[in-house]
Chains A and B, each alone.
Chain A
């Protein structure tokens, strides 16, 4: 599957992991990769642009991944309101991940990330309905 027309948003407060994720997505051929360091910055981007998929860290400050997801889904008129959100986490079994899935996240990935895992999630995000929970 080609991703050259895709716009993907990466939300991660930790700069090294964010840079690795962005580079891996570019390496996969994603046409445009946008970065945000926290939920609030990401919301501002989602208000202006329709993105095809969002990779979002769970544990961030001041706005964490779950708060971002809930706020985005409630954002009437935001072009990316229904974009699939894939949560990035250290622990797959964390309560926050389950809350996120219940709140409409399209899936989650356990860090550290690999190109194969990112590709798999991108493929699923592009065939799934935009948001299960919205």
Chain B
């Protein structure tokens, strides 16, 4: 029986097929030492990526920009949650007070932060509010803020799960 030398493409294909899912999770978590929960677990807290809905929190930009989920990403997520709470409070206050230009700028900032953090749904809600304020439609903007607390709570919950597996 004759043997053919393995090509690079064959080897890559074999490795990709053989790579266990928890290895992918470990790579994405950038933590080879820390224990990593399985991708899909029945009783353990769920890990990336199966349990995180990119519609709520898209991890890809942070993973790509910072080469995995490490302490830098953790600190940025913590900063985002703290900042976003403040911005949403300011947005509500400005809308109640009739300061539509101030509210638009706040919605713009909060939306930018959400996009940067990968908080997809929150970013989309804030973009709608900003658009409504650009059109001068304060009623639609006020109505749009109603969905923000639950959307941000979902993000917070997902970030908490991610932070629990990121090494300090």
Contacts and interface: CB of A to CB of B under 8 A. Distances in A.
Interface stretch (B19-27, B39-47, B76-84): B76-84
A24 B105 contact: no
B115 A111 contact: yes
Interface string A15-31: 11101100110010000
Interface residues of B, number: 18
A61 interface: yes
A72 B75 CA distance: 33
Nearest to B62: A20
Interface in A5-19: 13-17, 19
Interface string B30-72: 0000000000000000000000000000000100111000001
B144 interface: no
B28 to A, nearest CB: 18
Interface in A92-134: 111-112, 114-115
Q: Is the interface of B mostly helix, strand, loop or mixed?
A: helix
A114 B64 CA distance: 8
B128 to A, nearest CB: 14
B167 interface: no
Given A114-B65, A115-B65, A20 B109 contact: no
Nearest to A26: B72
Contact of A20 (B65, B84, B105, B108): B65
A54 to B, nearest CB: 18
Size bracket of the A interface: 10 to 19
A121 to B, nearest CB: 15
A16 B108 contact: no
Given A111-B116, A112-B116, A13 B61 contact: no
Contact of B61 (A15, A61, A112): A112
Contacts of A23: 66, 72, 76
B66 A27 contact: yes
B2 to A, nearest CB: 45
Interface string B93-118: 00000000000010011001101110
Nearest to A23: B72
Contacts of B108: 59, 90
Interface of B: 61, 64-66, 72, 76, 79-80, 83-84, 105, 108-109, 112-113, 115-117
26 contacts: A14-B83, A14-B112, A14-B113, A14-B116, A15-B79, A15-B83, A15-B113, A16-B76, A16-B80, A16-B83, A16-B84, A16-B113, A16-B116, A16-B117, A17-B116, A19-B76, A19-B79, A20-B116, A23-B66, A23-B76, A59-B105, A90-B108, A111-B115, A112-B61, A112-B115, A115-B65
